[in-house]
Amino acid sequence: MNPNAQTFRWWESGIVYQIYPRSFLDSSGDGIGDLAGIRQKLDYLQWLGVDAVWISPIYPSPMADFGYDVSDYTDIDAIFGSLLDFDTLLADVHARGMKLLLDYVPNHTSDRHPWFIEAKSSRSSAKRDWYIWRDAAPDGGPPNNWRSNFGGAAWTWDKATGQYFYHAFLKEQPDLNWRNVAVQQAMLDVLRFWLNRGVDGFRVDVMHHLAKDRQYRDNPPNPDFRPGMSPYRELLTTHSVDLPEVHEIVALMRAVVDEYDDRMLVGEIYLPLERLMAYYGASGEGAHLPFNFQLLRLPWDAKGVATVVERYEALLPSYAWPNWVLGNHDKPRIATRIGAAQARVAAMLLLTLRGTPTMYYGDEIGMHDVPIAPDQVRDPFEKNVPGLGLGRDPVRTPMQWTGGDGAGFTTGLPWLPLADDFTANNVAVLRDQPNSILSLYHRLIELRRAEPALSVGAFAALPVSDNVMAYMRKAGDRRLLIVLNFAAHACGFDLSMLEAQAEVLLSTHLDRHQEQLGDNLQLRGDEGVIIELR
Ligand code: NOJ
């Protein structure tokens, strides 16, 4: 491997930062974040050191699923601003040498999209076949047993035309029929619209959902289902998700992106690693990066994490570039899942593994899940399937910029409540604290940018012990050793077998710079270190 970062593409060597636009910065005072708000914070993102920003959907939407129900793919919702605001933001992002990714939602539209309105106007409508319509079962019920991800049946009866339509998510999000060539063309043109405007790529929503069984066979029961899980998981998704034909659709998207220079696709795919790999395409004609969500779900212990990292590395096709994700707008925040102390270890892991890291806004200041009172619930998932802890509002609360009114997020009433600790945990305060998690993120990113060994170097696992995971990153002669303590108590690590001089470059505690090490490294509880070997 060539150790020179210059020869790698930006989405390989760079760091992606996800913005949930409703919650980043509200410049208008309506309590909801917007594009002008994001623009005001580009200085911050540049200071933090990220390379690319992915913005969750900003298109016109009735907001049944907060933008993942798109009613016009080629405009901006007035809540967020205008196309002019978007162009200005994009120009400013580019002027800083950064990249911008949009969220592309191809699996379903809003039920208010003109295409669906036309499709449901009559059985003979020209757009009828753009969606998935089926007759009722003989008993009048839905055509099969498929479930909606958000609870209940995935089929809704349309009384006027006497058929059911399919929706993998809300009934307000009817699935498009990607087997229809006109749908393919219209949706690929959406990509071109934004690529022509200059966007650098797309995060593709539920990529694995795009093809469904032609015969609409029932899904089998899931033998691993346990009470307390989402009702969606009572069935396997054998016939509704991850069908072989999906890869043909992804290849169509990839071909469009490849019409342009240096653009990319990252696919949202929740599948086991073995199945995930197929989304790179049999010979690289799939997504540039199929999201690797392993760190979002794994039990947090050294052996478990080390095993998955090695398995992922081993499964990757030769032409595939890895990636890692620590948080997103659908899953519990890392600080809540593993605690504030281990969240620092997780930051070091994310930013020293081989592969493009994706950060979720606010994780860099240690934001945690915010409890949402029943009368404050906004997320349709929580409303449909209450009480199981599936709701996503807690991870979407406003970014904490300052300790002042509205956390510096809004001058109005925030659309979701602020965390109760925002006066202490916010960007303004933590930026000035030399030992804060924000300072740690800043330093880790700075180091990753400066060290090709970390951003693009080779990866080699070292033997794992009960609590300590260790691995090497290497570029040219430069060798960096990362040692992470997953326990709250002190642990030792034997350096003698490495037969090298060892010096600490960075500790998660931010207090061991340039320390020369002997044969035995002592790690404090919840400490990770990056060590230079010479
Ligand atoms: C995945 C998105 O991340 C999630 O937020 C959304 O609700 C569903 N797809 C449906 O679009």
pLDDT for 306 equals 98
Distance 291 CA to ligand 1 centre (A): 14
Mean pLDDT of all residues in 66-81? 98
CB 12 near ligand 1, within 6 Å: no
Q: Which of 26, 65, 77, 205 is catalytic?
A: 205
Q: Who wins on pLDDT, 441 or 513?
A: 441
pLDDT at 1 over 70: no
pLDDT for 7 equals 86
pLDDT bracket for residue 516 (50, 70, 90): very high
pLDDT at 4 over 80: no
CB 503 near ligand 1, within 6 Å: no
The answer for 500, left when phi > 0, alpha when psi is -120 to 50, beta otherwise, is: beta
375 belongs to the catalytic site: no
pLDDT at 223 over 60: yes
Q: What's the CATH fold of domain 114-166?
A: Oligo-1,6-glucosidase; domain 2 (3.90.400)
Index of the ligand 1 atom closest to the CA of residue 168: 10
pLDDT bracket for residue 2 (50, 70, 90): very low
CB 188 near ligand 1, within 6 Å: no
Q: Which of 43, 189, 259, 405 is catalytic?
A: 259
The CATH 2.60.40.1180 portion of the chain extends over: 458-533
pLDDT at 159 over 90: yes
CB 26 near ligand 1, within 6 Å: no
- What is the spatial distance between Cα 118 and Cα 112, in angstroms, rounded to a whole number? 10
CB 348 near ligand 1, within 6 Å: no
Mean pLDDT of all residues in 154-175? 98
Distance 476 CA to ligand 1 centre (A): 41
CA-nearest residue for atom 2, ligand 1, is: 205
405 belongs to the catalytic site: no
Q: Name the average pLDDT for the chain.
A: 97
Per-residue pLDDT of 14-35, as tens digits, reads: 999 999 999 999 999 999 999 9
Domain 10-107+179-214+247-445 indexed as CATH 1.10.760.10: no
CA-nearest residue for atom 5, ligand 1, is: 330
Place of tokens 């037969």: 499
Place of tokens 């999201």: 291
The CATH 3.20.20.80 portion of the chain extends over: 10-107+179-214+247-445
Per-residue pLDDT of 379-435, as tens digits, reads: 999 999 999 999 999 999 999 999 999 999 999 999 999 999 999 999 999 999 999
- Give helix 246-257 / helix 181-197 axis angle, nearest 10°: 30
Distance 112 CA to ligand 1 centre (A): 17
pLDDT bracket for residue 370 (50, 70, 90): very high
Mean pLDDT of all residues in 457-473? 97
The CATH 3.90.400.10 portion of the chain extends over: 114-166
pLDDT at 351 over 80: yes
pLDDT for 307 equals 98
Mean pLDDT of all residues in 249-273? 98
Per-residue pLDDT of 299-333, as tens digits, reads: 999 999 999 999 999 999 999 999 999 999 999 99
179 exposure class (CB count in 10 Å sphere: 0-12, 13-18, 19+) = middle
CB 205 near ligand 1, within 6 Å: yes
CATH superfamily of 458-533: Golgi alpha-mannosidase II (2.60.40.1180)
Strand order in the sheet with 458-461: 458-461, 468-475, 478-485, 528-533, 502-507, 516-517
